[in-house]
Chain A
Amino acid sequence: MEAAAEPGNLAGIRHIILVLSGKGGVGKSTISTELALALRHAGKKVGILDVDLCGPSIPRMFGAQGRAVHQCDRGWAPVFLDREQSISLMSVGFLLEKPDEAVVWRGPKKNALIKQFVSDVAWGELDYLVVDTPPGTSDEHMATIEALRPYQPLGALVVTTPQAVSVGDVRRELTFCRKTGVRVMGVVENMSGFTCPHCTECTSVFSRGGGEELARLAGVPFLGKCSKLVLGSRPPIPSLPWVGLTSVPPGPEGEEGMGAVSLSRRTTATCGSSTRALLKALYGHGWFGCVRFWPAEPMLGAGGADTAPPPPLCPAGSVPLDPELTRSLEEGHDFIREFPGSPTFAALTSIARRILDATPTCLP
């Protein structure tokens, strides 16, 4: 039996964030990777611990396949991406002799390795450790949470896609979090929609509505939705709540938020009281960036095409399907550095900003 866990290896880590989902393939590794890159962009030192033993995606996403893991006097040395050691990684992917080798282990053996991963990696000083998990609510998850519990993780980001099938699994993950005492920091809806590069039509490829429903079920903020206040057009059906619309030109971080607030004060004069209340509630929740919305209920009898919500002018938050993002992850590039003008960048950095805001500033 191991001696009382050495305070050493995790003691230098300020905050631990888990990225969870009951469902596979929703983008946990993608969100973990991009969150780490965005946090680094914000000047933080970040580590990623990949506890997906059967499908370790993290090494490839950073272009670090084939890197070797070495021992040091405090345990395993993580793989550093750069000289400044701003991002460090640990994954079973680094330990496999052949990348196509399957890790066909039953639960008890997986538990043993995860315990080692958590306690024996010499992370050093980190601002954030992002823990990427496999899908499900089983051995790996229980082992990870048990091993991390003494270090009081900040919480979990729960990732879903818009479909009901995803929500069906991810709501079980919320129950898992409740039962294991993990705080859910928020819900991210990935693969929110695809904007055709040929005609800019935005299609909901994987259905819609999942992120909001999940956030509602969990009673947590929906981190993945930013919308845009757009002034100008008259509401098609006056009796339904509708916000006057205008476009807010995208600007550097703080200015975007302020622009939307002052506009909202002007627009509330022309909108119904229910909309005013809605706006107040929104800003009370600290929504930042642009705000866009459309009637909550579909407008019956008004015809499908006419009542489709206007395409997002500056979609931020809900992470859209983006082949450039996929390509960057395949090739191990830093999407955050390479595509700062894209809506996907805005969505990912807004999630990172939310994490930074939610991080307590006074340390124990």
Chain B
Amino acid sequence: MEEVPHDCPGADSAQAGRGASCQGCPNQRLCASGAGATPDPAIEEIKEKMKTVKHKILVLSGKGGVGKSTFSAHLAHGLAEDENTQIALLDIDICGPSIPKIMGLEGEQYVEDNLGVMSVGFLLSSPDDAVIWRGPKKNGMIKQFLRDVDWGEVDYLIVDTPPGTSDEHLSVVQYLAAARIDGAVIITTPQEVSLQDVRKEINFCRKVKLPIIGVVENMSGFICPKCKKESQIFPPTTGGAELMCQDLEVPLLGRVPLDPLIGKNCDKGQSFFIDAPDSPATLAYRSIIQRIQEFCDLRQSEEENLINS
């Protein structure tokens, strides 16, 4: 029986094209010839561009539909409430770019003076246009976003990703490798079906040495607007994110309950915080955003100490 394929050793590794897992890969000949050995010059170029970007945060999840884009958008809104902070939101979900809709943008790239957005959604002429691209072309687009967009002085760059652990994720980590990513926020919902994919994502982060800021459990409980009693729409049959975080020794940043107003506001392209400032979901978001800021500040001062010592 064919051995279960292990991960690709990497186009630039010594095993490129020669490893057991390279059998059958269409790129095998290319890798074996050593073409992948030289590092991509774009990585250095991106490092230069990123010098004016203080903090870079990736929002990930192995699972689709858990609320990455919703979270990214609201993280951006929350951080941008401080007018002195410059925020940039980059949407690298090439096939399903939700950020323009959630931010209420049809083509303009600035939501507020201090909050700018970039997404492949802006490059599509019609809402029906499908981006049917294979991996290499998606990678090229991500490279362009990082290298060719004039980000300027940015305090926080938030990168919203598609679900999975594939081209887009590998590319963004590779291209930002020299530029130092602060860390990743991983979103999940309470069910095991989500957690089993999220565990893979956590392992992916560890494999590529991406620091994990923490996990957010979204859609965690629903308060009926009529009777105010709580129900679990997505029951945490295996202990939810809390148990997973304990097992994998990863911080649980917080739990966000399901509030129907979140979906409605995303559909309208508005910030949910403005529509429902007292919702338990808003309070949960704000606490999580604060923890993320604290993490970034701590990393920054640790680095400065390291440089100064």
Enumerate chain A interface residues (CB-CB to B < 8 A): 22-26, 29, 54-55, 57, 60-61, 71, 95-97, 99-113, 134-139, 141-142, 161, 163-165, 168-169, 171-176, 179-180, 194, 196-199, 201, 203-207, 217, 321, 323, 326-327, 329-331
Query: Which residues from A are CB-within-8-Å of B128?
Result: 171-172, 174-175, 217
Instruction: Say which residue of A95, A104, A194 sits within 8 Å of B4 (CB atoms).
Output: A95
Count of A-B residue pairs with CB < 8 Å: 227
The answer to whether A108 touches B26, judged by C-beta atoms less than 8 angstroms apart, is: yes
What residue in chain B is nearest A175 (Cβ atoms)? B130
Query: Which residues from A are CB-within-8-Å of B279?
Result: none
Instruction: Say which residue of B26, B101, B162, B192 sits within 8 Å of A136 (CB atoms).
Output: B162
B131 at the interface (CB under 8 A from A): yes
What residue in chain B is nearest A176 (Cβ atoms)? B130
**Nearest-CB distance from A327 to chain B (Å)?**
5
**Alpha-carbon separation in the docked complex, A48 to B181 (Å):** 40
Query: Which residues from A are CB-within-8-Å of B199?
Result: 99-100
The answer to whether A205 touches B263, judged by C-beta atoms less than 8 angstroms apart, is: yes
Query: Which residues from A are CB-within-8-Å of B192?
Result: 60, 330
The answer to whether A105 touches B7, judged by C-beta atoms less than 8 angstroms apart, is: yes
Query: Which residues from B are CB-within-8-Å of A180?
Result: 132
Query: Which residues from A are CB-within-8-Å of B127?
Result: 168, 171-172
Query: Which residues from B are CB-within-8-Å of A321?
Result: 233
Interface flags for B177-211 (1: CB within 8 Å of A; 0: not) read 00000000000000111001101110110010000
**Nearest-CB distance from B89 to chain A (Å)?**
15
**Nearest-CB distance from B198 to chain A (Å)?**
10
Interface flags for B97-138 (1: CB within 8 Å of A; 0: not) read 010011000000000000000000000000111111111101
Segment touching A, from B40-48, B64-72, B80-88, B285-293: B64-72
The answer to whether A136 touches B5, judged by C-beta atoms less than 8 angstroms apart, is: no
The answer to whether A138 touches B237, judged by C-beta atoms less than 8 angstroms apart, is: no
The answer to whether A135 touches B193, judged by C-beta atoms less than 8 angstroms apart, is: no
Instruction: Say which residue of A95, A108, A141, A199 sits within 8 Å of B224 (CB atoms).
Output: A199
**Nearest-CB distance from A55 to chain B (Å)?**
4
Query: Which residues from B are CB-within-8-Å of A197?
Result: 231
Segment touching A, from B50-58, B141-149, B152-160, B164-172: B164-172
**Nearest-CB distance from A332 to chain B (Å)?**
10
B20 at the interface (CB under 8 A from A): no
The answer to whether B98 touches A168, judged by C-beta atoms less than 8 angstroms apart, is: yes
Give the number of chain B interface residues (Cβ < 8 Å). Answer: 70
The answer to whether B7 touches A104, judged by C-beta atoms less than 8 angstroms apart, is: yes
Given contacts A109-B5, A326-B233, contact A138 B62 (CB under 8 A): no
Interface flags for B1-30 (1: CB within 8 Å of A; 0: not) read 100110110000000000000001111000
Query: Which residues from A are CB-within-8-Å of B151?
Result: none
The answer to whether A165 touches B69, judged by C-beta atoms less than 8 angstroms apart, is: yes
**Nearest-CB distance from A222 to chain B (Å)?**
18
The answer to whether B191 touches A326, judged by C-beta atoms less than 8 angstroms apart, is: yes
**Nearest-CB distance from A122 to chain B (Å)?**
13
The answer to whether A330 touches B167, judged by C-beta atoms less than 8 angstroms apart, is: no
Give 10 A-B pairs besides A165-B266, A201-B225, A323-B233 with Cβ atoms closer than 8 angstroms. Answer: A24-B162, A25-B63, A96-B4, A101-B203, A105-B8, A106-B8, A106-B135, A138-B133, A326-B233, A330-B193
